[in-house]
Amino acid sequence: MTSAASIDLLLIHPGAARDVFGDRAAGFAVVAPQLWGRPTAEHLVRSIQGRGRHVIGNYVFGLPGDDLISMEKTLNLAIDLRTDFANFHCWPFATRHVDAAAVARFRDAAFATYFTDPAYLARVERNFGSAAFAKVRGMTKERFKRKLATA
């Protein structure tokens, strides 16, 4: 029998995220259908949040097949999932469609978009208080300064 605690561990395991967001991993695929059918990312996030736990989303831009449209879809997923915090990573390499500098610029813009969104800021203040709200606001005041190589 699977306990609620072990379900939470399955939900947040990195392999689980990989399986939900694409067929890049198989481990979670064996367990998830038995528990929920084929869960969506939103279902997983809401399940965890429904247990009073906070969720951090990790998003990667610049995977080998990424283009501007797929990176925009990743950003939209991050916004739609409404996680409590997010990490935005980018590979420092060109993809088949976008050069490395464009990937880094997109990542930096995605960071600003996510963390300055009024709905996100309201959730931070409601869930974590005014000190957390001020920290998030503070981390978006300075923009990244990068020396970006061009292809």
pLDDT tens for each residue of 60-114: 999 888 999 999 999 998 999 889 999 998 887 888 999 999 999 999 999 999 9
Domains recognised in the chain with CATH numbers: 1-53 (no CATH), 55-151 (3.30.750)
The whole-number average pLDDT for the span 15-36 is: 44
- Non-local (6+) Cβ contacts of 138 within 8 A are none
Whether the Cβ atoms of residue 16 and residue 55 lie closer than 8 Å to each other: no
- 105-144, pLDDT tens digit by residue? 999 999 999 999 999 999 999 999 999 999 999 988 887 7
- Distances from the Cα of 70 to the Cα of 14, 37, 48, angstroms: 21, 26, 26
Whether the Cβ atoms of residue 45 and residue 81 lie closer than 8 Å to each other: yes
Query: Residue 3: its pLDDT value, please?
Result: 33
- Non-local (6+) Cβ contacts of 117 within 8 A are 79
Cα distance between residue 129 and residue 101, in whole Å: 36
When pLDDT is cut at 50, 70 and 90, the band that residue 35 belongs to is low
Cα distance between residue 71 and residue 108, in whole Å: 12
Query: Residue 9: its pLDDT value, please?
Result: 36
When pLDDT is cut at 50, 70 and 90, the band that residue 39 belongs to is low
pTM of the model: 0.71
96 burial via Cβ count (<10 Å: 0-12, 13-18, 19+): exposed
Q: Identify which has the larger pLDDT, 8 or 52.
A: 52
